Amino acid sequence: MRNVVITGASRGIGAACAEAFSKNGDRVFIIFEKNYAAAKKISEKTGGILIRADVSDSAAAAAAVKYIHDSFGKIDVLVNNAGIAQIKVFGDITEQDWDRMFAVNAKGTFLMTKVVLPDMINKKRGKIVNISSIWGQTGGSCEVHYSASKAAVIGFTKALAKELGPSGICVNCVAPGFIDTEMNAELDDKAVEAVCEEIPLERAGTVEDVAKTVIFLASDAADYITGQVVAVNGGLFI
């Protein structure tokens, strides 16, 4: 049985990944920060193991991974999905907003990867899937700090894939477009309609659309794929 660690798995895309990996026969570890009730529900649905950890905190990330290694021996797949977003015009973004955005979205990916990697390198095997965003590819107006942090995840993915290829570890990235989750809860129906009009496939993406791609990249079917950014965006950016 593979051990799959998914950060930010209490809700949205991470929760859908937990369900998909669990259906696949994998053991899932559900990392979450605040939302215990939601995480517990996903754990009950998937049989997944709950771990509360703020991925931007190096001690918490290390403790979470140590617990998994000590109790379950190995980690086969890491999905760096935990993320935050914020809509603000550039002039209103504070230094604190910028630092928190990068702490969770970019540094969180770095910290989790750093503690998971040594064992993968020893075993010469492993899959890492990072969740970026269409805005990391194209830039999103009124989301400069979010877009920059997600572009960082793409650079991280490409560089690490080159470094880890000889160690037999694949590192890839999924760049979702507009996906129907709580992250977009601020948008009213009119705004959602306006975005969907721009999407060639004429609908918002579902969390399952993203999870299916993550499952593929973490599977043997993707053994010759590394350093790639796979866009799950309905054609919104081609």
Q: Which is nearer to ligand NAP, 13 or 78 (CB)?
A: 13
Q: How far is CA 162 from CA 126, 159, 170, 230, in A?
A: 14, 5, 9, 17
Q: Which of 3, 4, 5, 10 binds ligand NAP (CB under 6 A)?
A: 10
Q: Which is nearer to ligand NAP, 46 or 181 (CB)?
A: 181
- Dihedrals phi, psi of 47, to nearest 5 degrees: 75, 10
For the chain, the C-alpha Rg in angstroms (whole number) is 17
Q: Residue 133, interface with ligand NAP (CB under 6 A)?
A: yes
Distance between CA 132 and CA 85 in Å, rounded?
A: 12
Distance between CA 148 and CA 144 in Å, rounded?
A: 6
We find the least distance from the C-beta atom of residue 188 to ligand NAP, in angstroms, to be 15
Q: Contacts with ligand NAP in 179-238 (CB under 6 A)?
A: 179, 181-184
Site string for ligand NAP, 73-102 (x = CB under 6 A): --------xxxxx-----------------
The β-bridge partners of 80 are 130
Token reading at 180: 């129907």
**Judged by CB under 6 A, which stretch of 5-13, 63-71, 118-126, 189-197 contacts ligand NAP?**
5-13
Q: Residue 32, interface with ligand NAP (CB under 6 A)?
A: yes
